[in-house]
Every structure is written in structure tokens, then in C-alpha cells.
Structure 1
């Protein structure tokens, strides 16, 4: 199944769990062996593979590392590359804050002459 925006969160978690289980089985590993290599409890591996939402992201990362899938996570959220104009504005510094909704709304207001009520 392709992961898309039409799937519910639970369906996405189930699909990811199924893919982890398939990757584990391709490597001929038991859940216990994977848990030991990843440094997590066997129950964490069981939860990840079943798509339960009670798992932590750190456990997911450890399991992906143990299965040799960690480098694929880079394509999940690619590194942000600032536009040339943004790079000039930042002058080599890293952006620390978002402008926020208030500034966006101020830009969206329609311009008036000032004498309209």
C-alpha cells in the first residue's frame, strides 16, 4: 500500500509497522533479536510492527538503525535549503524563529487611503 494523505494516521502506522516487520523477516531476525540489537524492549518492536501509537520515536529510530534503514529516513524530511535571497538576508546565520501568523495577517490586510471608516 502506498502511504498517502488519504490514509488515516492509524493506517499509516500499520503500514509502517508492516514494512518494518517485512524488513526484519528479510534479514531473518526474530523480534527478540531485533529488540536486543536495537537496545529496546521486545514489546517495543511488537508495538512498532502492529502500528500501535504508544511507541516512542526514539524506539522507531533504534529499530531502523538495527535494520540498516536509518539512511532512508533522510528522504522522509529532506534538509531544508534556503533560497539565495533568504541566505543573503540571514548573512550566514541560522534562522531561529518563525514570523508567525500575526505578521502574515498584517501583510494580508487590504490597503486603504486612511480616510475610509
Structure 2
């Protein structure tokens, strides 16, 4: 059965449990052997295969023993760079450049033609 958004959580868990059981049997493992290798209880494996909710760490352990870690990578691939990271990559390599030439003088002397301004010289 192909899973999609229309299925309830319980239906998805039941399908995943069936798939987990088929993969375990295909690898020639009993529930007890899988439990020991994964470091979980046999009852936990039974519950997972029956379609009951299990902790995420349990699922990771079971996937590791069954050789399915690459399936997890396909399920949730590493995200690409964020917009800020892309922006930083674009600007990397460009260095700030010092302004060329001399700046025009600024300040009171520049505005009054070289003569310092004093109070009373408003003309």
C-alpha cells in the first residue's frame, strides 16, 4: 500500500509495522534477535510491528539494525543552505575597498571659504 496524506495516523502506523515485520523476516531475524541487536525489549518490537506508537529513538535503533539508515536520509534529506547562508556565499570574496582620491574637506572652514566661523559672522 502506498502511503499518503489521506491515511489516518493509525493506518500509517499499521502499515509501517507490517513493513517492519516483513523487513525483519526478510533478513532472517526473530523479534527477539532484532530486539537484542537494537537494544530494545522484545515487547517493543512486537508493539512496533503491531502498529502501535513507539519512540523515535526506538525506530532509529530498529532501522540501524535492519540497515535502513539510508532510507531515513531519503525520508528527510539534509536541508539546503538558508537564504542568509546563500547571501553570505555571494558576498564572500568581495573585500571592502578604500575610497580612492582625497575627500573634499568638511567642517566650518570649508563652508566659509577657509576662514573660521565665529559668532556674529552671519553675513
Tell me if TM exceeds 0.5.
yes
Higher relative contact order (Cα pairs below 8 Å, separated by 6+ residues) = 1
1:30 aligns to 2:67 (yes or no): no
**Number of residue pairs aligned between Structure 1 and Structure 2:** 89
Give the structure-2-normalised TM-score.
0.67
Normalized per residue, the structure richer in helix is 1
What are the superposed Cα offsets for residues 9-52 of structure 1, whole Å, 9 maximum, x if unpaired? 11111111111100000011100000001110001101111111
List structure 1 segments (4+ residues) > 4 angstroms apart after TM superposition: none
Give the gaps of 5 or more residues in structure 2: 90-123
User: How far, CA to CA, are the matches of 2:69 and 2:86 in structure 1?
Assistant: 33
Give the structure-1-normalised TM-score.
0.70
The alignment's C-alpha RMSD in Å is 1.5
- Name the CA shift for 1:10/1:49 in 2 (closer, same or farther; >3 Å): same
User: How far, CA to CA, are the matches of 1:88 and 1:25 in structure 2?
Assistant: 46
Give the gaps of 5 or more residues in structure 1: 93-117
